Amino acid sequence: MTAKATRFVQAWVQRNLGRRPSSEEFESIPELVARCFHEAATAGITEDEIEDEVGDLKVFLKEAIASAAAGEVSDIEEED
């Protein structure tokens, strides 16, 4: 994957999932994947370039959401 594709995916996840995604986003993974690929194509980045770097984008996004959700749980536990 090119550096451009890597930066694109990282920025896209940050913009679209934020630091604390909601559980509803697990239900819309196919929509998120389609939107990411569409925006990548607009930026001149192919699906193959993205998947060469992150593997299955669907799995990658699920993991990104789970990681952010786990961070939220940790923050709550620290406040108690």
* Cα 54 to Cα 39: distance, rounded to the nearest angstrom: 16
Helix, strand, or coil (residue 46): coil
What range does the domain containing 55 cover?
3-79
Contact criterion met (CB below 8 Å) for 69 and 23: yes
What is the C-alpha to C-alpha distance for residues 48 and 73, in angstroms, rounded to an integer? 34
pLDDT in tens, 34-74: 999 999 999 999 999 999 988 899 998 888 877 777 765 43
Q: How many domains does the chain have?
A: 1
pLDDT band at 3 (very low <50, low <70, confident <90, very high): confident
Confidence label for 19 from pLDDT (cuts 50, 70 and 90): low
2 band by pLDDT with thresholds 50, 70 and 90: low
What are the E-state strand segments in the chain?
A: none
pTM, to two decimals = 0.74
**Amino acid identity, position 45:** I
